[in-house]
């Protein structure tokens, strides 16, 4: 059976993120992309617009000293939702982050339009990024 096109899109997006391939991530994101990050840390909030989302990506790289990594376990999709099951890791001076996370995406016209991220332990996530 062929892979759902939304699985392929998110796999390509995660591979591009790992390589720092901004051009591909731009191609796969709508201009009005919204990323919802829960919690009370410095990265938390509703980031509206591709530029705002990319700014958060930049903060993650900067705050982690370029150590932030995602390991995708699985991607599940239908025409309405795409879910990425992954493990995120990073280090900062005196801190280590290792969290199972779930991202739920809306994809329209072949582009990511909205994402809700859910970490395994929100307190740990807020503490690491603060």
Summarised one tens digit per residue, pLDDT across range 104-127 is 999 999 999 999 999 999 999 999
> Where are the alpha helices (H) located in 20-121, listed in sequence order?
22-28, 50-63
34-51 mean pLDDT: 97
58 token code pair: 């930049």
User: Chain-wide mean pLDDT for the chain?
Assistant: 96
Structural class in CATH, domain 5-129: alpha beta
Q: Which pLDDT band holds residue 86 (cuts at 50, 70, 90)?
A: very high
User: Does pLDDT of 72 surpass 70?
Assistant: yes
22-26 mean pLDDT: 95
The answer to whether the beta carbons of residues 32 and 49 sit under 8 Å apart is yes
Q: How far apart are CA 85 and CA 102, in angstroms?
A: 5
CA distances from 101 to 24, 31, 49, 121 (A): 23, 25, 22, 9
Report pLDDT digits (tens) over 56-68: 999 999 999 999 9
User: Does pLDDT of 1 surpass 70?
Assistant: no
pTM given for the model: 0.92
């Amino acid at each position: 059976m062929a892979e759902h096109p939304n699985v392929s899109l998110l796999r390509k997006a995660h591979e591009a993120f790992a390589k720092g391939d901004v051009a591909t991530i731009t191609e796969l994101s709508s201009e009005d992309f919204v990323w919802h990050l829960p919690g009370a840390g410095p990265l938390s909030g509703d980031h509206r617009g591709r530029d705002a989302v990319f700014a958060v990506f930049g903060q993650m790289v900067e705050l982690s000293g370029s150590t932030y990594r995602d390991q995708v376990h699985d991607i599940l999709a239908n025409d309405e939702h795409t879910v990425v099951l992954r493990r995120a890791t990073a280090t900062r001076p005196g801190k280590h982050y290792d969290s199972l996370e779930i991202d739920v995406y809306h994809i329209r016209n072949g582009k990511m339009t909205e994402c809700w991220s859910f970490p395994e332990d929100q307190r740990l996530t807020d503490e690491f990024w603060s």
